[in-house]
Amino acid sequence: MWSDSRIDALSVALPTPEPKERTMTGFLKVEKLAKAYQADKPVFADVSFEMARGEFVCIIGHSGCGKTTILNALAGLDTASSGHAFMDGREIAGPSLERGVVFQGHALMPWLTVRKNIEFAVKSRWPDMEREELDAHVEKFVALVGLSPAIDKNPNQLSGGMKQRVGIARAFSIQPKMLLLDEPFGALDALTRGTIQDELMAIVRQTQQTVFMITHDVDEAILLADRILLMSNGSEVDGHYTPGGLAETVVNPLPRSRQRAQLHHLDGYYELRNHIVDFLVSRAKAH
């Protein structure tokens, strides 16, 4: 019921890409991605999926299944052992300001204020931007995450949640074609996490941002994602090793205007949640 039939179509052999630029149906296209640190035991193999422009996709799986490796490959921070990833018709090769990344740690420069941290990123993207326009641009994205009163504070004057908001504002400020989030709320308390989830949803709706996000939180995925990719771990049974991979794609049937406080009242919520939890408990082959 929850499987996306498009994934079945991707399981067949795909032609090897020749040029750097290609015509494709998906804004992001991942073709038969694999990663192996040990040749005969790849962490994952044959990972193929597409994302549409403006789509929010979450990936869930147990530790060690390769979620972060996939995200790093999309960010250009790591290379896969085989396979290819294309964004907007071009193969991903190395980091690019067209892809914004937010990690679990905020990674702010402690000697710079909120304003200067975001300004640094914006100037990297548009080095010739005039001062008046630069100030307005930075202030716009600081306001989006509700931090205008703290714009001239240093990171050591901010709470953990506020620091993460700065990281999110910085990523959005360079107006990337795709945003990559690696468990950005994992270190936050539940109340702060919920508040920033709401803020992220509002910004994504306003900007129509394309987002690929790793999470371990099932409810977070249900709240945010249009689709949820379920990753399985590699396993060895009777001497035969099976690599991890993309086991299933779950389409979120809940209305996109959903709100965190009302999730459990929506028809289909419990069926969706139970399906994902069942996968994680009984089918993901956690190490």
DSSP string, 123-136: HHH-TT--HHHHHH
The tally of CA atoms less than 13 A away on the side-chain side of residue 143 is 6
Angstrom distances, CA of residue 72 to CA of 31, 100, 226, 255 = 15, 11, 21, 30
Question: Which residues on neighbouring strands pair with residue 33, listed in sequence order?
Answer: 47
Q: Which of 84, 78, 55, 76 is nearest to 66 (CA)?
A: 78
Neighbours of 79 (CB within 10 A): 13
Q: Which residue has better confidence, 9 or 90?
A: 90
Does the pLDDT at position 20 exceed 50?
no
Q: Which of 184, 134, 131 is nearest to 161 (CA)?
A: 184
Q: Which of 208, 207, 212, 204 is nearest to 179 (CA)?
A: 212
Tokens of 65: 């299944």
pLDDT > 70 fraction of the chain, expressed in percent and rounded: 90
Q: Give the per-residue pLDDT at 25.
A: 58
Q: Which of 186, 176, 214 is nearest to 69 (CA)?
A: 214
The answer to whether residues 196 and 164 touch, using CB atoms and an 8 Å cutoff, is: yes
CATH number assigned to the domain covering 5-13+26-98+176-283: 3.40.50.300
pTM for the full predicted model: 0.85
What's the mean pLDDT in 213-219?
Answer: 94
Does the pLDDT at position 109 exceed 60?
yes
The answer to whether residues 73 and 80 touch, using CB atoms and an 8 Å cutoff, is: yes
The answer to whether residues 86 and 29 touch, using CB atoms and an 8 Å cutoff, is: yes
Kindly list the domain boundaries of the chain, sorted by start residue. Answer: 5-13+26-98+176-283
Does the pLDDT at position 9 exceed 60?
no
Q: Which of 121, 57, 131 is nearest to 95 (CA)?
A: 121
Q: Which residue has better confidence, 249 or 19?
A: 249
The answer to whether residues 228 and 57 touch, using CB atoms and an 8 Å cutoff, is: yes
> Looking up tokens 């790793």, which residue turns up?
214
pLDDT > 90 fraction of the chain, expressed in percent and rounded: 65
Helical spans, DSSP H, in the chain = 5-10, 67-75, 114-125, 131-144, 160-173, 190-207, 218-224, 269-278
6: confidence class by pLDDT, cuts 50, 70, 90: very low
Question: What is the 8-class DSSP label of residue 21?
Answer: B
Each residue of 140-186: pLDDT tens digit? 999 988 899 999 999 999 998 899 899 999 999 999 999 999 988 87
Distance CA 45, CA 245 (A): 6
Q: Which pairing describes strands 99-102 and 178-182: parallel, antiparallel, or unpaired?
A: parallel
DSSP, collapsed to helix, strand or coil, labels residue 195 as helix
Tokens of 182: 């690696």
Q: Give the per-residue pLDDT at 29.
A: 96
Q: Give the per-residue pLDDT at 224.
A: 94
Q: Which of 212, 135, 132 is nearest to 171 (CA)?
A: 212
Displacement of CA 89 from its chain's centroid (Å): 19
Q: Give the per-residue pLDDT at 122.
A: 96
